[in-house]
Amino acid sequence: MPLSPADATTRPLIAVPAEGLADWLQTQDAATRAWLDGTGFAAALGDVRLVPGPDGAPAFAVIGHGTAAARRRTRFGLAAAARLPAGDWHIEGLDGPDLEEAVLAFLLGRYRFTRYKRGPVEGPRLKLPAGADRLAALARGEWLTRDLINTPAADMGPEELEAATQDLATRCGAALAVTKGDGLRDGFPMIHAVGAGSDRAPRLLDLTWGTTGPHLTLVGKGIVFDTGGLDLKPAASMLLMKKDMGGAATVLGLAQMIMELALPVRLRVLIPVAENAVSGRAMRPGDILTSRKGLTVEVNNTDAEGRLVLADALALAAEGAPDLTISMATLTGAARVAVGPDLAPFFTDNDADAAALQTAAATAFDPVWRMPFWQPYEAMIEPAIADLDNAPAGGMAGAITAALFLRRFAPERYVHFDIYGHQPTDAPGRPKGGSGQGARAILAALPGLLDI
């Protein structure tokens, strides 16, 4: 993590709003005013200037906090601070939520995926203000999520995802149980069917932590690579499919946050893991699968596999009678068409839970958007020869029909997130590549959701 040692000598990074620039300049010496005027500094949001001292080395830096309108439009506008020169810095000029956002923006903006880079990657380090340890825990969870998603599928298969989950369990004092082989085929037949076409064995990961408090279950889709199966994706559609385990990566990052912060909950994390590959063993269009719950499913598209593995995991979750269950999955392209890459759409029947999540999302700088479990569309997921259809014809309301499918297997109090798990271009605090969505909003909402 890009954090300064507690005893480090740090340089100031001073945030200046556009509307306060003139007044702030009056508090500075003539040399600083001349330097900033000469560089054209107007306190635009995220604009950084290094101010030299008498020896010519940077004495401090200023960063524009922009106008109120600019701050409303751009999340993490101060993430540009992560581009400062290497060294130790601290933030001045902000307090309250503005300071929290700036710290989180710095930490998230400093993320770099370095696994395949040679040599160290230097950069600035931040001294946390008092009481900001929680923000560092949030950033560490997000960094874990990004690392898992960004790792190519060759190095993040079922075995490697299990190892990453075991590492998290070991670090945080959790327990991990793994089901695979005959136990998976007999107990979780749809997870087994989705992974049958791959030489890399599917499995179910079951992490548990905590002994007191409400029972929270997180379920994350762990498709480590999705070819589409026999309904093969075109090449261009496979380019991002290493991120199809983004739901698993996001719930693992969230679980790390919960455990590091020692929230008073009994946590369970279920991750159905499989590679949707092509071979003579792969499931076929038209196959009928019998789920763990006993409902039969007609496979009308082998590329709609995520809901199959999640269904078996959700059925197991329901058997444990949790107080709240949340699933996260890179599930449908329809969700991206509906809300784009920035928003994390979610589904719930509980108006109070929806309100809690939307309120928390604003404070956590993690936008979410409620979508409907639209009851009239239930008929679309009911084919002629089985209980359920995994890919209704017509192509409309794809995110909603997928969510309705999952609800047939889930516990009563249930929230489903259909996330993207990827940042398509560099943005403040969100470098291009793997990205968690919704985790900080959920974390901020948990005290209200579970009365803790």
d(CA 85, CA 149) in angstroms, rounded, equals 28
The beta strand positions in 194-320, using DSSP E, are 203-209, 215-220, 222-226, 266-276, 288-290, 296-298
424: which 2 tokens?
A: 């398509």
For residue 320, give the DSSP letter. Answer: T
Quickly list DSSP for 160-209: HHHHHHHHHHHHHT-EEEEE-THHHHHH-HHHHHHHTTSSS--EEEEEEE
For residues 73 and 367, the answer to whether their CB atoms sit within 8 Å is: no
State the catalytic residue, choosing from 233, 266, 370, 413: 233
For residue 233, give the DSSP letter. Answer: P
d(CA 189, CA 183) in angstroms, rounded, equals 9
* 408 tagged catalytic: no
For residues 421 and 350, the answer to whether their CB atoms sit within 8 Å is: no
d(CA 366, CA 443) in angstroms, rounded, equals 10
Residue position matching structure tokens 């979610």: 346
To the nearest 5 percent, what fractions of the chain are helix, strand and coil? 40, 20, 40
346: which 2 tokens?
A: 């979610």
Residue 436's nearest CA partner among 246, 174, 201, 287 is 246
d(CA 400, CA 418) in angstroms, rounded, equals 10
* 268 tagged catalytic: no
d(CA 255, CA 169) in angstroms, rounded, equals 10
Angle at 366 between CA 99 and CA 96, to 5 degrees: 20
For residues 301 and 183, the answer to whether their CB atoms sit within 8 Å is: no
Bridge partners, residue 290, by sequence: 296
Residue type at 272? P
Sign of the torsion formed by the C-alpha atoms of 128, 132, 138 and 141: positive
Bridge partners, residue 124, by sequence: 87
State the catalytic residue, choosing from 127, 146, 292, 307: 307
Bridge partners, residue 206, by sequence: 177, 270
Greatest alpha-carbon span in the chain: 82
Burial class (CB in 10 A: 0-12, 13-18, 19+), 340: exposed
Which secondary-structure segment (H or E) carries 247? helix 246-260
Report the catalytic residues: 233, 307
